[in-house]
Chain A
Amino acid sequence: MPSTLYGVYNAQRALSLNQAAIDIINSNIANMNTKGYSKQRLEISQASNVSPYQNAVDATQSGMGAIIDSVSRNRDAFLDNSLRRETTDLSYYKEYTDNAVQLENIVNELDDTGLNKTLNDFYNSLSQLASNPNDFVVRNSVVQNAITLATTFNNTYTSLQNAKTGLVGDITLPETLTQSKLSIDINDLNNKLSAVANLNDQINLSTSQGMTPNALLDQRDELLDKISEYIPVNITNESNNTVTLKLGSIELVRGRERSGFFEIQAGVTNDNPSIVQIKNDAGSVFSTNAYSLITSGKIAATLQTGGDDADKLTIKGIMDSLNSLASEFATAVNTVQTGGRYIDSSVNPNELSDNLSNPIPPSLGTDPDPEDFFVDSDSSGTITAGNISVNAVISDDPYQIAAASLTSNLTETGDGSNALLMSQLRNQGLAILGGATTQGYITNVTGKIGTQSKNIQDNYDIKSNILQQITQKRESVIGVSLDEELTDLVRFQRSYEASAKVMQTISQTLTTIINMMG
């Protein structure tokens, strides 16, 4: 037989239970728009304190009231996992799309400012020179167009170089390695890994004290979502409520320890200026180059764009193409240039050069052979897109362009056949360029970059659709529905009122008995 005041306690418990339920609703509504907040629920069950020592009559299973088991979060581990997987891929393609569009804008051939246009202008001015070889204005326009062409090569190359340095740095400028996008992302990631380890510790502590640290769990889930943007991380939930993070088979976080972190080492060559290593605080190195482990996420996009993987869209790939083009083009023009005769303006503007190695018979050659048209501005010995420039001898004196052929006589300054040959280089396939003409090569490169970029963008679109669906699905699970909360509010309010009524009734019953005693 329960005590006389049992009912009062029972009613009081019911009142505080309803109060707690309303508090939860309060918190749910307050966090309705908080990102990462999962709707909390009061888990209520019927109270039963049946003990094996009570006899059957006393063991009244009814009338014990209700008790709060726990405050749970609405969460679906499966959705969380697939959302994080898709987040990794999406941020990979997003980052790569940004990079690809930037590269496409740098080497844009669709507007009237690209290499194609400047090459065209150069060839056209040479063709004009072929018809008017002793016209100084035409010669000067060839020089100007050549300078514009070289500058366009240089500027495009520098822009690409800068883009690459911004992403992964440059080993010749060590300070760029720590200022690169990769370095900043790696630091963020390391901090987030530490934060997960800390949260693991706190969560473990709270759980062991019998608490449900829902706010901390939400925080950790939010962090895990963020970490998934950087690398394809494996997340395992451990029995003590901590999570273990791994990249491939390398542990990054276990329990309260950040057992692995990322560090950037300067590469051997500028093809891969930054190498990502995984180490621990004790100094052990788990991976000397994590490139093959980081297959997705925004760090992968940065590494790949700045790396030298021939199958990917890389800045190096584009720079190499431009270098081949610049060097092949310059060599072809120089070969024709040095096989002709220029106008020896310092001696006699009406006479061609009597080249030392190709004299005009019957006299012996007295003039220097024609100088190269294009040279490397840094005297490195190889012409690249970065250093191609017009020989100062020619830009100072446009008469030095060898427009006439070797077969012409001394006074035949009207011979433009060598200039014509230079202009006809536009129709000539060059072996190093895969047999393509200079402009055909630009078309190929543009097409290749466009196709790769399109591919990345298409994947980005697909992934963002998938992620959108999963995000919405997850919001449907963890989000707060105002209608639901308000319904619950009414429910628990009524329940509270009713419990109070019960309390009042019991109180009246007791009063009746006490009065009878009177």
Chain B
Amino acid sequence: MDKVKNIIDKLGIPRLIIISFLLLLFIIAIASGLAIPPLIGDSIRRVGMAGILVLAMIPTIRAGMGLNFGLPLGIVCGLLGSLISVQFNFTGFTGFFMAIIFALPFAIITGIGYAWLLAKVKGQEMMVGTYVGFSSVAFMNMMWLVLPFTNPEIIWPIGGTGLRYTISLVNHFSGVLSDFLKLSIGQFEVPTGLILFFVFFCVLLYFFFKTKIGLAIDATGANEMYAISSGINVKKMRTTAVVISNCLAAIGIIAYAQSYGFLQLYNGPMFMAFPAVAAILIGGASLKKATISNVIIGTILFQTLLTISLPVTSQVVDGDISEVARLIISNGMIVYALTRGNKKGGK
């Protein structure tokens, strides 16, 4: 009995509710004759796709700046890196890693600028971050039209300048991670490489917070005055956290794109911060505290819920309401999680 109570305490009521809801959806799915293995495989794939973007929330939360709603800023850096990689016709793993290598300098430079801006608006980081994200998308909307890319695969087929809305990666690095060591059992597929890539970054970030500099970031977030009186350069720690978050966002979108098979430009990245925010909050993080396990649990719950609920709702309800359902579920979860946001994590 104590053991059960312990588990409940550790998970927290909200996660129990979501897990029960998930189980209910599974039961309905089975009852209505849906094939379960592809659903699970699909969930795992989406966890791998979205995972690093969710992980990008951690550094800013732990530095005391709240959730990084400016995720699109890092995402456009990732897209830019990928485009350069495609422009030079790199393919396969080379293409994938070159995309990351090209993206990181942009992510670092814009991250420093973003951190500088956030330092000016201390206490309102999340609100300002949201608009930084939106503005960066708007700014890049113009840039996509004028940047001097010449590869015919990515510019408009009619010629001239300007990039397409969606750019296929089939000839470049589409699926390089997902197909690496891929497990297939009938309809059930596990993108091992993608999952390993996500786990690698989880471990990396976990150990980063066990270093001197990671501890300094933690202390800055936990109590700024304590950090200052410990001789920690608080501003530098905040900048470091933002830059790491921005870089993770850039890497995250590249991993996402290789699995999805396309780069989505223009307004594509506009709302990508929200699912990531929802996921980490559902995982039990608060605005002040977040751990790697919050990311993992949250991403799994959130992505599985999205994957399962769509086919189930369209089974139960006549007509196609899947898009509406998706919006209600993901935004509803953010609202729900933010209202719990002020409480301590895990409650």
Chains A and B are bound partners: no
